[in-house]
Chains A and B, each alone.
Chain A
Amino acid sequence: MNSFSGHIADIRTSDALSVVTVNINASVSFKAIVIDSPETASYLTKDHPVNVLFKETEVVIGTGEALAVSLQNKLKGTISALEKGPLLTRVAIHTSAGEIVSVISTASADELDLKESTNVTAMIKLNEIILAP
């Protein structure tokens, strides 16, 4: 499980759903969608400390510039370690927020020609991010 701590920067609520922006540092923030609102979850207030959690298997990896994708959470980084198995590959990515681990298929890792020190973008869908106050 990837885990980062930050503070809530913004909350946009529509009925029971909220999109929450969490700042990790000056340059990195994560967005999460939750089935909660400030009325149902007391931690949903600006500046409240919160941990951002997401599964390694939910981290998408892209290479190259100008990616046109629907994923809202994008972090640039460099591959710091690569562990290849027959089907799956575990990729550790060094980013300005810290290390992110991604588990992708070995076929994709080969296709993208991922190696140590390759520059990549790690991406996580809005709905895969869990907030832990």
Chain B
Amino acid sequence: MIELNVHKTLQSAQGSMELHVELTVEKGQFITLYGESGAGKTSTLRMLSGLMPPDKGSITVNGTVWFDRERKTNLNPRHRNIGYVFQDYALFPNMTVSQNLEFALDRKQDKTVVEDLIATMELQQLRHRKPGTLSGGQKQRVALARALVRQPGVLLLDEPLSALDSAMRQKLQQYILEAHKKYGLTTILISHDIGEIIKLSDKVYEMQNGKIVRQGAPPDMFGLGKTSAKFRFTGEVIRIQKEDVVYVVTIRIGNDAVKVIADQSEVSHLQPGDKVAVASKAFNPVIQKI
């Protein structure tokens, strides 16, 4: 269990901001920090990992005190049992995939953990390649594997998939979920992608201006659990076109573009780029074997 209660005065382009985050994450939970840029999400992860010292407060993980201002405890990042994955892969370009993973091993650690991760992340075909020859999704898979080499209890993911296209993102989400379950991790993700948050996390915390302003189960937070409709998707409006007396709204859902008929009352507050929930009753779709 992670118990975090930290204060920090942060300087940004907009002036100074008082960050105060109180968070309790149960062991094995997958939570997401959500909110606009500059809300304090990355700073929260940096304080948890030891890369940034809080001004005051405490951090306790599974009963061990990592930080306590009062007691002058501040555990070195290397001793914090954390795996950290950023948007930037930060792999060593002169080493192969296997070497990148082995480099992360602790001196006393057995090499079998690297073999296990190579199998879990399906990196067998890539193990002798250097990062420069890999795609973005492949590099991020290696980065994820490397973050897990030291068998951390806590995995921190700071928008790890935001540079990838949507097909690759969905595959990586699957790898993340598998690793989370297989290694019994407690995972904290930063993401802006509502579909991703719903797919991965048990709970979402919305941050604004250095504080948690809202928290809950993802379907409730994003208003999707609030209808009886069983056919529910989130998507992005691509195009709104008036046809006859109705509007045809084209919405990107995953890799598909679907068209939905809408009335003027529905489109009056919509524009391309908006995130939307699309819902229909389970009684309407027809099913055909293909």
Contact = CB atoms under 8 A, between A and B. Distances in A.
Contact of B279 (A84, A90, A130): A130
Nearest to B264: A90
B226 A87 contact: no
Interface residues of B, number: 18
Contacts of A32: 228
Contacts of A128: 281, 283-284
A57 interface: yes
Interface stretch (A23-31, A33-41, A60-68, A72-80): A33-41
Contacts of B283: 33, 127-128
A132 B228 contact: yes
Contact of B263 (A34, A89, A101): A101
Contacts of A56: 246, 263
20 contacts: A1-B265, A1-B266, A34-B228, A35-B282, A41-B228, A53-B227, A57-B246, A83-B245, A86-B244, A88-B245, A90-B245, A90-B263, A127-B281, A127-B283, A127-B284, A128-B283, A130-B227, A130-B229, A132-B227, A133-B226
Given A41-B228, A132-B226, 14 more contacts: A1-B265, A1-B266, A32-B228, A36-B228, A53-B227, A55-B261, A88-B244, A88-B245, A90-B245, A90-B263, A127-B283, A128-B283, A131-B227, A131-B228
Interface of A: 1, 32-36, 41, 53, 55-57, 83-90, 101, 103, 127-133
